[in-house]
Structure 1
Amino acid sequence: MSFAEAADDTHEAIMGATYSALCEHGYARLTMQDIADEFDKSRSLLHYHYDTKEELLVTFLDRAIGWRRERLAESDAEAPLARLEEFVDRFVIEPGEESRETFALAITELRVQAAHNDQFREKLSARYEENVETIAEIVVDCVSAGVFRQVDPYETAHVMYTSLVGARTVQVTFGVERATYRMREGIARWVDRDLLTADHEVGEYQGGNFSKQ
């Protein structure tokens, strides 16, 4: 293994440990020791690369940007509406998914910190734009395929993404169970009422795809 490959492996291990620690502890209670406890190498190696929790999290946010686009690229779904369903489904947090709730809460805490932290704001803003761009590209494909009527892809994407983020924030901060699930149903109704062409329809969300093929 080359030095570069070893360095990449170490950074990937640190990012994985950071993710696990955030899921376990959230942002407010997270310490470098928590991350070190999830890291399968020495704590001194962790501190060699990062002096503070904030410095590490800036890198983590940078690595996290675009993960939904990458996951969709790995998907078997080819039809644009199916890809949109898959994107939306990833925001649904079912009761009992504690690690996903904790991680989503940690990201929400980072958004609050972004109001006063320029580096967090830069990374999270890029993450927002990346996800909006991903939805907009899918909407363009839906229009080209004759599934959606002519709509503004970026306006549609902004409305959809901010709605999903808002529902997830309400669920993890206020404990409103199934808020993301209900938002999923609401998006299905919106798609059915305002976006689909006359030849297509969607059904009520019941834990699977909302399209009727």
Structure 2
Amino acid sequence: MEATHSAVKNHGYNDLTMQHIADEFDRSKSLLYYHYTGREQLLADFLGYILDSFLADLPTEETTPRKELQELIDRLLPAKTTEEPYRLALAMFELRMNAPHNQAVRQQYVAVEEELKRLLEDMLQRGIEVGEFVDMDIAVEAEGLLSLLIGTRARRLTVYDPDESIEPMKTAINSHIDRLSAISS
């Protein structure tokens, strides 16, 4: 998976080949084909790997739910990005565009979104319990926040340059969170 990670960052999605991945791997290309029928199957597993890595790096419940939510937003939507993370995000976005045509990729994105929605629901629920957020329909608000986050990532990748700030979009998301907050930040 690390070899795939490196190859995706170096070549992007469209130009990525199994040979590129093998070149980053200390084993032969035939070993990749032993485990995977092709690039798309390998990339579907790579999505799961990326999700697991992302989730492992999220904050623990040692902070407030509002701060956890803000950190999640900042991790998903850094105000500016460098070329390497941008290229990886772009490759993952390009892979997302193939989800309607590739069931394995689609299933991985469904799993990613379900996990993110579960995290959002958990943060909102705990925030209500400690008085940080107003009472709300948690499932509806989590779905709305998830859509805002995914849409903002898509906009960043399609209309913003990698080094261009997306602060106006983040301000809009934070404004929405302020409306959910029992205490303004």
Q: Where does residue 135 of structure 2 map in the other structure?
A: 150
C-alpha deviation, 1:89, in angstroms: 0.6
1:140 maps to 2:118: no
Tell me which of 165, 169, 172 is aligned to 2:157: 172
Indicate conservation of the 8 Å contact 2:41/2:104, yes or no. Answer: no
- Say which structure, 1 or 2, has more relative contact order (CA 8 Å, 6+ apart): 2
Question: Among the aligned pairs, what percent are the same residue?
Answer: 34
Q: Provide structure 2 residue ranges, at least 5 long, that are not aligned to the other structure.
A: none
> What is the CA-CA distance between 1:148 and the residue it aligns to?
0.4
Task: Tell me which of 22, 25, 39 is aligned to 1:53.
Answer: 39
Larger Rg: 1
Post-superposition Cα deviations, 1:117-160, rounded to whole Å, max 9, x if no partner, equal: 12211111111111111111111010001110101122111111
Tell me the distance in 2 between the aligned counterparts of 1:158 and 1:126.
14
- In the alignment, is residue 117 of structure 1 matched against residue 73 of structure 2? no
State the distance in 1 between where 2:81 and 2:115 align.
29
- Residue 148 (structure 2) pairs with residue 163 (structure 1): yes
Q: How does 1:60-99 map to 2 (within 5 A)?
A: 60-72=46-58, 75=60, 77-99=62-84
Q: CA deviation at 1:94?
A: 4.5
Are 1:171 and 1:178, in contact at CA under 8 Å, matched by a contact in 2?
Answer: no
8 Å CA contact 2:128, 2:134 repeated in 1: yes
Segments of 4+ moved more than 6 angstroms: none
* Equivalent in the alignment of 1:4: none
Q: Cα RMSD between the aligned structures? A: 2.0
Q: Report the AA paired with residue 56 of structure 1.
A: L
Does the Cα contact within 8 Å between 2:79 and 2:170 map onto a contact in 1? Answer: no
**TM-score of the pair, normalised by structure 2:** 0.88
Alpha-carbon deviation of 1:65? 3.5
Note if contact 1:104-1:169 (Cα within 8 Å) is conserved in structure 2: no
1:30 partner SS: coil
| Match of residue 196, structure 1, among 173, 181, 184 | 181
Corresponding position of 1:131: 116
Residues 143, 150 of structure 1: 8 Å contact kept? yes
- Native 8 Å contact 1:18 1:35 kept in 2: yes
Question: Structure 1 residues 85, 152: closer, same or farther in 2, change over 3 A?
Answer: same
Q: Which amino acid aligns with 1:117?
A: N
Q: Distance between the aligned counterparts of 2:14 and 2:7, measured in 1?
A: 12
- Determine if the alignment matches structure 1 residue 24 to structure 2 residue 10: yes
Gap regions ≥5 residues in structure 1: 1-14, 203-213
Aligned length: 183
Determine the C-alpha separation between the residues in 2 that align with 1:141 and 1:93. 24
